[in-house]
Structures are given as structure tokens and as C-alpha cells.
């Protein structure tokens, strides 16, 4: 592997890690347009038995709106997604990421971890950068 290939691999890894972090931050504090822009048009968001499966932008947006209306996430919820221990594997224009997550509630008071689990993510490279194509959420 040449130097150019190694540099591209490192750049891809960092961009994907930043995309994982950005999605968590936007889920907690950002606007829904910015959040949705992180997904491919045909993305699948699999929240398991608690949140169900969402397919495509319109359905993913509807799910995000429901979670915000319920106070589960979003600005003012005082909840935070903390992502850690991410392992990234880039294969061309596809990246697979396995990350541990902790979901903290009442961060404005005494934060407590409500859920610990794993994100199984697949990202695709696009002209606009790496986009989330599939997320499967598994509880620990």
C-alpha cells in the first residue's frame, strides 16, 4: 500500500468517526434538517423493539420528530448520546463501524446512564461526504 492509499485510509477513518459523533450531537442538540442530511436517501434506522425500523428520509424524520415530541432526544431534553470504542473498517466506498454507546438522561441535574448498547453502522461515501446508510441499535 502506497503513501497516498495510507493517507486516504486515515482520512476516511477520521471522517467516518466524525460522522458518527456528528449524528449523536445533532440528535441531542441540532436541527432536524442537519440531522437528516447525515443519512443516505435510502437509509435504514433500526431502533429495535423500542423504536422500530425506519426506512428512508421521510420515515427517519418522522421517527426523530416523535422522539423529540416525547422528550427522548433533541434540544431541551437534557439527554445525551455518548459514543465510545468505535472500530471502523473502510472498504472502498463503504465503511462499517461498531461503536458502544451510552444514553444519559437528566444531564442538567444528576446524569445517569439509561441505556448502554452497540451501534452497528454502515456508511457510504457520497459527493457530500460519508452518509449513514444503515444503523442497527442493539442493547447491551
Fold for the domain defined by 3-139: Nuclear Transport Factor 2; Chain: A, (3.10.450)
Specify whether the CB–CB gap between 57 and 33 falls below 8 A: no
pLDDT band at 50 (very low <50, low <70, confident <90, very high): confident
Residue 113 phi, psi dihedral angles, 5° rounding: -75, 120
Given the C-alpha cell 423504536, which residue does it identify? 51
Quickly state the pLDDT bin for 139 (edges 50, 70, 90). Answer: confident
What's the predicted TM-score (pTM) here? 0.95
Query: 3-state DSSP call for residue 78?
Result: coil
Q: What is the pLDDT of residues 112-135, one digit of tens each?
A: 999 999 999 999 999 999 999 999
Q: Are 65 and 32 in contact (CB under 8 A)?
A: yes
Element (H, E) at 67: helix 56-69
In the chain, where are the structural domains located? 3-139
Any idea which residue has 442530511 for its cell? 37
Please say whether the beta carbons of 38 and 23 come within 8 A: yes
**pLDDT over threshold 90, residue 140:** no
Average pLDDT (82-92) is 97
Amino acid at each position: 500500500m502506497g503513501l497516498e492509499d495510507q493517507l486516504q485510509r486515515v482520512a476516511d477513518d477520521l471522517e467516518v468517526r466524525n460522522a458518527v459523533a456528528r449524528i449523536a450531537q445533532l440528535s441531542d442538540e441540532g436541527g432536524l434538517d442537519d440531522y437528516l442530511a447525515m443519512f443516505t436517501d435510502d437509509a435504514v434506522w433500526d431502533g429495535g423493539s423500542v423504536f422500530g425500523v425506519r426506512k428512508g428520509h421521510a420515515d427517519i424524520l418522522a421517527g426523530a420528530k416523535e422522539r423529540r415530541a416525547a422528550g427522548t432526544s433533541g434540544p431541551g431534553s437534557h439527554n445525551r448520546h455518548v459514543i465510545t470504542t468505535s472500530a471502523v473498517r473502510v472498504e472502498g466506498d463503504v465503511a462499517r463501524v461498531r461503536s458502544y454507546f451510552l444514553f444519559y438522561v437528566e444531564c442538567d441535574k444528576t446524569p445517569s446512564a439509561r441505556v448502554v448498547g452497540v451501534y452497528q453502522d454502515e456508511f457510504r461515501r457520497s459527493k457530500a461526504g460519508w452518509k449513514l446508510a444503515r444503523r442497527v441499535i442493539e442493547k447491551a
